[in-house]
Chains A and B, each alone.
Chain A
């Protein structure tokens, strides 16, 4: 049966706006990643109220107990409640992950933009960045821990420094491409100021890859903090973190697998959630991809 023009128009209109397809169905990755990450953040934030036990209270009688009704994830070699420690440990991981991601991208964007726009600065900056990339991250962290007191700030700095050159390289290459685009010239042709061109025309066009890179940095920082703590070069032992919990559980892994298992699961889920969020954001922020989904 032939449709009237009005019917066709109505149909085209609804197809264009996806009213039947909710945000969740259009951006499943974003929603799943975001929700899981939000839950993790809430758990970490409200750990003092959720946790049934103190994360640092030791008990000789309750050493290496398997999961039970009072200790959901069992207890560790010093009789501390693994469940409470996992909840508290999330604080360290998320603080480190988010701080490192923000710090590395902010510093990296600033340096990368200068390198992308000034040929003279480019030569100097990129050689310094090459030098920084040659420093192994673990070595830098261990050296810093040896020189300074072990603290979360030191961990953040130790993880941020090796990430900066990666962001700088990314931003520089993006800027080199974007600044040659005709719309940048068109913006100049209507009299836009240089810093305004950077902020309004160059940066937004570089944002999508930057966000993806930012979430990637966040995820790898969470992992890196765990490595460092595992090696004993990270978060000081009096603060529970997923990394140092697994490090302590390593010695008794054959007796009590749960001590390593539960922080590991939380670590894995968090990193996965951040990565899903990054992919979801990329799809949503690119208007072309967003329409196709």
Chain B
């Protein structure tokens, strides 16, 4: 189900009613249960949600990196330039990975191979996809290290990952992911393992490179601050489903879904009460309870057990995603009808 956008740019990736299930010992886990969204050319799309809500599984499925078994793609499509990636064979998929769609991971400390130099690992992508000879690939690796602002790239290319700091390793990961100038970069919590000042640098770097290389970014995070700084549009996921989607500014100004409202009120803000004393500031609101187990068939809205507005209907049937205009859509019975 594609949501209409005021923006007329074409979608480069369309995820359509994607369902990814896992076979576990005590039943089927519906990790992703009917998620749809579009990624427009040159756009930064944020996917937010708590741990275990299916963000990473969605991302990994886009590159078909989830081993099967135990995973089963139970339905849906992921269209890249109109072609369904889920129908590709392994060879075609390999030609996509790193070349057309790239991914960077959360933990830069372990995402680089400790026995290969950083330069070799960046060059590897280029050797794989562009069939560069080792000399040209090395030159490209040095150039990429320079692009991600690593000082002395020529010397650094010959160093091993343990000689890099966390922030530098994430830069090196970005360099490796972008060596072939992919059209889409999937960043799975790229700044979660880094400290705040480095986070800001890495995000800025990603956005600059996005502009320079003309790519689109899917930014997966649970940090709403990161989303606010970087994303044009946001998809909010809860328990394997999309519960709300809107332009970032609109989502922060007028969140509709109680879950989004909960997430926002659980985020500390400095500007809440300018000049106010500590005790006059409102207490941070938490969302009670935990993300439900995703086993078996779910009846009703997944968020109902934690929802302050839950009514009888919420426990009986699952709300459908409704368009509220302006590209803002929400799946909730209690947000006022369109």
Residues in A lying within 8 Å of B, measured CB to CB: 181-183, 185-193, 200-201, 204-205, 207, 287-288
Contact = CB atoms under 8 A, between A and B. Distances in A.
Contacts of A193: 94
- Closest 5 A-B residue pairs measured CB to CB? A190-B98, A191-B97, A191-B94, A191-B98, A183-B113
B128 A192 contact: yes
A200 B111 contact: no
Nearest to B161: A183
B173 A190 contact: no
A191 B125 CA distance: 8
A155 B252 CA distance: 76
Contacts, number: 69
Given A189-B98, A191-B128, A192-B94, 14 more contacts: A182-B107, A182-B111, A183-B111, A185-B111, A186-B105, A186-B112, A189-B97, A190-B128, A190-B176, A191-B94, A193-B94, A200-B116, A204-B113, A287-B115
B221 interface: no
A189 B102 contact: yes
A201 B231 CA distance: 35
Contacts of B63: 189
A175 to B, nearest CB: 15
Contacts of B113: 183, 187, 201, 204-205
Contact of A205 (B105, B114, B124, B176): B114
Contacts of B176: 186, 190
B1 interface: no
B39 to A, nearest CB: 17
A191 B129 contact: yes
Contacts of A288: 162
Contact of B115 (A182, A186, A189, A205): A205
A185 B103 CA distance: 10
Contact of A185 (B65, B102, B116, B160): B65
A186 B111 contact: yes
A182 B97 contact: no
6 contacts: A182-B110, A186-B105, A190-B177, A191-B125, A192-B124, A207-B115
Contacts of B191: none
A183 B97 CA distance: 15
Contact of B95 (A181, A186, A191, A207): A191
Contacts of A188: 65, 97
